[in-house]
Amino acid sequence: MVTAEVSFSKEELIANLTPQNPLLLFGVSWADYEKISEEFGESNSFHITFNKGLLTIMPVTEIHELLISLIERFMTIISLVQGKNIVPTGKATMRSKRHNIAAEPDASYFIKKAANHHIKNYVPDEIELVPDIVVEIDVHHPSDDKFEIYSEFGVPEFWQYDDEKLKIFKLQENARYKEIERSEQLPVLTSAILTEFLNRGLNEEQFKVLTDFQNWLQENE
Which is it for strands 87-88 and 54-59: parallel, antiparallel or unpaired? unpaired
Supply the pTM of this predicted model. Answer: 0.89
- Predicted local distance difference test score (pLDDT) of residue 36: 87
Q: Residue 217 in contact with residue 188, Cβ under 8 Å?
A: yes
132/125 Cα distance (integer angstroms): 19
Classify each residue of 23-48 as buried b or exposed e, where b means 16 or more C-beta atoms within 10 Å of its C-beta: bbbeebebebbbebbeebeeeeebbb
- Predicted local distance difference test score (pLDDT) of residue 3: 45
131/155 Cα distance (integer angstroms): 6
Q: Residue 95 in contact with residue 102, Cβ under 8 Å?
A: yes
30/24 Cα distance (integer angstroms): 15
Classify 207 as helix, strand or coil: helix
Nearest to 180 by CA among 190, 165, 188: 190
Q: Residue 37 in contact with residue 102, Cβ under 8 Å?
A: yes
Quickly count: other Cβ atoms within 10 Å of residue 199's Cβ: 17
- Predicted local distance difference test score (pLDDT) of residue 4: 46
- Predicted local distance difference test score (pLDDT) of residue 46: 82
φ and ψ at 201, to 5 degrees?
Answer: -65, -20
- Predicted local distance difference test score (pLDDT) of residue 62: 87
pLDDT 10s digit of each residue in the chain, 221 long?
444 445 556 666 666 665 566 788 899 999 999 988 888 766 567 888 999 999 998 888 888 899 999 999 999 999 999 999 999 999 999 999 999 999 999 999 999 999 999 888 888 999 999 999 999 998 877 788 899 999 999 999 999 998 789 999 999 999 999 999 999 999 999 999 999 999 999 999 999 999 999 999 999 97
181/3 Cα distance (integer angstroms): 37
Classify 170 as helix, strand or coil: strand
Long-range pairs for 193-200: beta carbons < 8 A, 24 or more residues apart: 194/71, 194/74, 194/159, 194/166, 194/168, 195/164, 195/165, 195/166, 197/70, 197/74, 198/67, 198/70, 198/71, 198/161, 198/166, 199/164
- Predicted local distance difference test score (pLDDT) of residue 18: 59
* Strand locations in the chain (E): 2-3, 23-25, 46-51, 54-59, 87-88, 94-96, 101-103, 107-110, 133-138, 157-162, 165-171, 177-180
- Predicted local distance difference test score (pLDDT) of residue 83: 96
